[in-house]
Amino acid sequence: MTTKKLIVIIGATGGQGGSVANSFLNDPEWRVRGITRNPSSQKSKNLEARGAQVVQANLDDRASLAKAFQDANVIFAVSDFWGIYNDPKNRNKPRQGQALNEWTKGQETQQLKIIIDEAARVSSLERFIMSSLPGPTKLSRGKYTNVCHHDSKADAEEYGEQNQPELWAKTSVYLPGYFLSNFLTHPMAQPTKV
């Protein structure tokens, strides 16, 4: 019997990471390690009950990610701009004159850089998959500069390509479309009467 391969999924209890976890939990050739901020949440417990190993890691903490990534064959990385943006603890963190979305952009980019750097250190890694979005600032040559939740990911993607070429040779960048679930969960996406 061959040893099962290990996929490590950041955000395994969220929509995107959760769908990746569901797919691999149904594949007998794979083990799933789900990374979450809160391993005692009901979603984490449900994931564990289905056979996943659930571990806590902080995307700002290199050591916790290094431990979570240990022995991974594949890492699926997704970040959460809106989770950072909507966290009440972050409301006063932007410096004077800096918009919260600009501050959040920097935070998300830094988290992704840490993920990229730590993934590059995993000797067993065969594939790194990063969920990203196109960067409007660069693509529009500076015309559209306030789409921070896109630019943060695109900036990190560029960082990975330039600073971790060995990792990038085994990287797939996933560019998701607009999620239909956004119409249910995000007030700005819901229809309104004018």
The structural domain count of the chain equals 1
CA pair distance 194, 192, nearest whole angstrom: 6
- How far apart (Å, rounded) are the C-alpha atoms in residues 98 and 153? 19
User: Could you tell me which residue, 135 or 164, shows the higher pLDDT?
Assistant: 164
**Looking at the domain assignment, is residue 153 inside a domain?**
yes
Q: How far apart are CA 161 and CA 170, in angstroms?
A: 11
- Does residue 177 lie in a domain region? yes
Q: What pLDDT band is residue 134 in, cutting at 50, 70 and 90?
A: confident
Q: Is residue 73 part of a domain?
A: yes
The answer to whether residue 159 sits within a structural domain is yes
First and final C-alpha spacing in the chain = 63
CATH of residue 43? 3.40.50.720
Residue 91 φ then ψ, to 5°: -55, -35
Within-domain flag for 52: yes
Check: pTM over 0.75? Answer yes or no: yes
Q: What is the pLDDT of residues 13-24, one digit of tens each?
A: 998 999 999 999
Closest CA to 36 of 50, 21, 51: 21
10-67 pLDDT, tens digit each = 999 998 999 999 999 999 999 999 999 899 999 999 999 999 999 999 999 999 999 9
Residue 48, domain extent = 5-189
Domain assignment present for residue 194? The answer is: no
